Structure 1
Amino acid sequence: MRFSGRGSEFAPGKPFTSRIAYAAAPVTADPRAENIPGAPAALDWDTTLRFRHHLWSYGFGVAEAMDTAQRGAGLDYPATRELIRRSAAEARSVGGAIVAGVATDQLPPGPASLDEITKAYLQQLHDVRDAGATPVLMCSRHLAAATREPDDYKRVYGELLSQSDKPVLLHWLGEAFDPALAGYWGNHDTVLEIIDEHRDRVAGIKLSLLDADYEIEMRRRLPEGVRMYTGDDFNYPSLICGDERGHSEALLGVLAVIAPPAAAALRALDEGDLDAYDRALTPTLPLARHLFAAPTYHYKTGIVFLNWLAGHQDHLTMVNGAQSGRSPQHLLTLMKLADEAGLLPDAELASRRAGAWLTTVGLA
């Protein structure tokens, strides 16, 4: 299989300034370790951290230890804590921006009380602050299972926000990304009420509902100074561009694979060149919609596959054996869309790797 190598046209350039954009970064597993379902996560630290430098070089911040890093899908909390610590140190070394996920995944699976959930959240909040990253309060499967009414969310989040010495980001991950989070907040007004009550402690909210109309409605209802961060991997070009009443910033998993053209698009947006913005970003949308197709929670497999083709890592092994999460046919389509979007800068490398992979899966 041959590729165009068109991605070589997108080189790092001057920082973009009109939007804030964080790329939710994947992790690279150690292929020599027992990264099978149920085993503790073992990472290739050098490759994992080198990829973060790639994102910083294009002007993106890193959203660390989010669902793209297989949080809640094989990345256990000891590995998560070490990942945040190492990434935050690397960010300081280059002046890169970093936020990091705070959850309750150090608790064992199964029922937990609201007090136990709050304590788990607070432990991770302190770990992220001690590492030097901005906390992102992620949705908790334990909390989703334990709540009986919207006030339970207000109680837990109120305690977390009252104990945060600096503003944090909230995070709303929809059911498509994690079925265990169905019905989170109890109703959609609950999170807005939490933000309004604690607006001095909330810098923004990341919304991953794959519902562009609701995101626009919600961002128009946010208090002044609280930013909307789109996590909509289906509709990000229009949401980031915005309209006469505002725009969304970005905190996206897809940015981990489209960083070069996305950076070019955001620099064009700085200049007010909407045609150049569309030329760089719109071709990535078919890839993103395929990458995040149902079952959406397996999108991490596609991200790692594309990063392997692009030369960011040397193998396809994933934490928890997640490399089996997508079919060969899905990945075959994905590589074609990646080439069309200009995401494979080294055509020779990508072609060689694609040929080897096609042989192993019986599609050669």
Structure 2
Amino acid sequence: MPDSCSSSPSARPPLRSRTVFAAAHVVADPSAGTTSGGPAALDWDATLAFRRHLWAHGLGVAEAMDTAQRGMGLDWAAAAELIRRSAAEARAVGGLLACGVGTDQLPAHGATLAEVRAAYEEQLAVVEDAGGRPVLMASRQLAAAATGPDDYQELYGHLLRQSTRPVILHWLGPMFDPALAGYWGSHAYDAATETLLKIVAAHPDTVDGVKISLLDAGREVRLRRRLPPGVRCYTGDDFHYPELIAGDEHGFSHALLGIFDPLAQRAAEAVRHLDAAGPGGVAAFRAVLDPTVALARHLFQAPTRSYKTGIVLLAWLAGHQSHFTMVGGLQSARSPGHLRRAYELADGLGLFPDPERAARRMRTLLAAHGEEDA
């Protein structure tokens, strides 16, 4: 259960100038006795309470994405239940919800293209039935089975033609998941970009947007400028998000970011400066969000896929959950020194509602590792 003093604030109106999703983590059930590689067990009360916290600040929730440990402990059965439960919560509070559609019910190796397509279709049906906005996540199985760009165009075209609502296409770079190297049929990013743009151009009415997670601001801007009118670019760049969301004279990025899990209040506060559309709005936005980049770069440092550990640490220190246990034992994926620095950076930003409790918890964690006090 979340700590009592971490209850959500009074609901704020949705953000207007940008569509902003926080990719949300899940809270493990520490009493379930599960083992690494086994079915995931979640603390549903704490997991859903955290989503209400995000909605209360005016953010959307990106559900069952990589921040929720898809492919790193959260199996498809648990993800499907998470999608259904979050969708019910979203309807109750009027919250914006996007949900990950993948192929992780398949074995890691050996799937055929037909099996990949069927797996995507199964998950797409679950998300659409729940009422969420589908996010077609990059698939490890597709990356292994595809022989070139044509396979991507054919499979994504099939899914987009059958989708009942606009979807978000997700390009997750190999720094987040090495198994996704060569996605869109090429290891050369320029060629991969052309394939992605061909898919979007062929289906502009069924693509809500494209989420780019390559940690390359220049490449994102160039792609953003080539998207058809009405197709959003969602930044997934946890290193350069302030400048990408602020934008330039040619446009801006919306956001679907894991770093906004611990930065929900800050992110919403910053975007409301853009909503006001007055003189100095961009400067005020940057003044709020720029100081958070050092924390983001620390959490997402290589190996980037282990960023979830720091995200959950901060949720525990902030009082959104009562323990620092993760699905699949991933709390051990970062060193005590890395976690200590994450605490210091977050504390310097004033992210903890109860700084004394955060410090006490951090001391307890470090002591368990034989480290000095925080």
> Shared fold by TM > 0.5?
yes
Normalised by the size of structure 2, how large is the TM-score? Answer: 0.93
1:245 corresponds, among 244, 250, 257, to 250
The one-letter amino acid paired with 1:232 is D
Q: How many Å separate the matches in 2 of 1:11 and 1:214?
A: 38
Matches within 5 A, 1:342-357: 342-357=350-365
Which ranges in structure 1 are unaligned for 5 or more consecutive residues?
Answer: 1-6
Q: How many Å separate the matches in 2 of 1:248 and 1:159?
A: 27
Corresponding residue number in structure 2 for 1:39 = 38
User: Structure 2 counterpart of 1:358, which letter?
Assistant: L
Aligned pairs (5 A) from 1:232-271: 232-271=237-276
Q: Once the two structures are superposed, what CA deviation does each residue of 1:138-197 show, in whole Å capped at 9, x if it has no partner?
A: 011000001111000011101100111111110000000000000100222101000000
1:97 deviates by: 0.4
Cα separation, 1, equivalents of 2:339 and 2:67: 17
Deviation at 1:125, TM superposition (A): 0.4
Deviation at 1:123, TM superposition (A): 0.6
Establish whether residue 331 from structure 1 lines up as the match of residue 331 from structure 2. Answer: no
1:220 aligns to what?
A: 225
Calculate the TM-score normalised by the size of structure 1: 0.96
Identity %: 60
Partner of 1:358: 366
Distance 2:293 2:348 in 1: 11
In 2, Cα distance between equivalents of 1:118 and 1:250: 27
Give 1:4's aligned residue. none
Matched, 1:196 2:201: yes
Aligned to 1:166: 165
CA distance in 2, matches of 1:15, 1:93: 15
- Number of aligned residue pairs: 356
Runs of 4+ displaced beyond 3 Å: 10-15
Alpha-carbon distance in structure 1 between the residues aligned to 2:350 and 2:145: 45
Q: Which amino acid aligns with 2:347?
A: D
Q: CA deviation at 1:22?
A: 0.2
Supply the distance in 2 between the matched residues of 1:85 and 1:13 (Cα, whole angstroms): 24
Letter in 2 for 1:149: G
Q: Cα distance, 1:11 vs. partner? A: 8.5
- Deviation, 1:13, is 4.6
Q: What's 1:302 paired with? A: 310
Relative to 1, partners in 2 of residues 1:138 and 1:357: Cα closer, same or farther, differing over 3 Å? same
- Map 1:304-323 onto structure 2 (within 5 A): 304-323=312-331
Aligned counterparts, 1:1-364, within 5 A: 13-186=12-185, 187-271=192-276, 272=278, 273-364=281-372
Q: Tell me which amino acid in the other structure corresponds to 2:298.
A: H
Return the offset for 1:223: 0.6
Query: Structure 1 243/178 Cα, relative in aligned 2: closer, same or farther at 3 Å?
Result: same
Distance 1:134 1:15 in 2: 16
Give the structure, 1 or 2, with the largest relative contact order (CA under 8 Å, sep 6 or more): 1
Quick one: distance in 2 between partners of 1:37 and 1:261? 34
SS of the aligned residue for 1:26 comes to coil
Contact 1:42 1:319 in 2 (8 A): yes
SS of aligned partner of 2:225: helix
Structure 1 CA distance for aligned equivalents of residues 282 and 340 of structure 2? 32
Contact kept? 1:308, 1:315, Cα under 8 Å: yes
Aligned CA-pair RMSD: 1.4
Gaps of 5+ in 2: 1-5, 186-191
Residues 317-340 of structure 1 show CA distances to partners (whole Å, capped at 9, x for unaligned) of 100110001000000011010012
Is 1:25–1:62's contact at 8 Å kept on the other side of the alignment? yes
Give, in angstroms, the shift of residue 12 of structure 1.
6.5
The residue type equivalent to 1:246 in the other structure is: G
Amino acid at match of 1:281: L
Counterpart-to-counterpart distance in 2, 1:319 and 1:248? 32
Query: Structure 1 residues 161, 28: closer, same or farther in 2, change over 3 A?
Result: same
Give the whole-Å Cα distance in 1 for the aligned partners of 2:351 and 2:29. 24
Question: 2:343, 2:127 → 1: CA distance?
Answer: 35
Q: Are the structure 2 counterparts of residues 246 and 317 from structure 1 closer, same or farther at C-alpha, using a change threshold of 3 Å?
A: same
Q: 1:12 touches 1:260 (CA, 8 Å); kept in 2? A: no
Q: Hey, what's the Cα distance between the residues in 2 that align with 1:13 and 1:225?
A: 26
Partner residue in 1 for 2:3: none
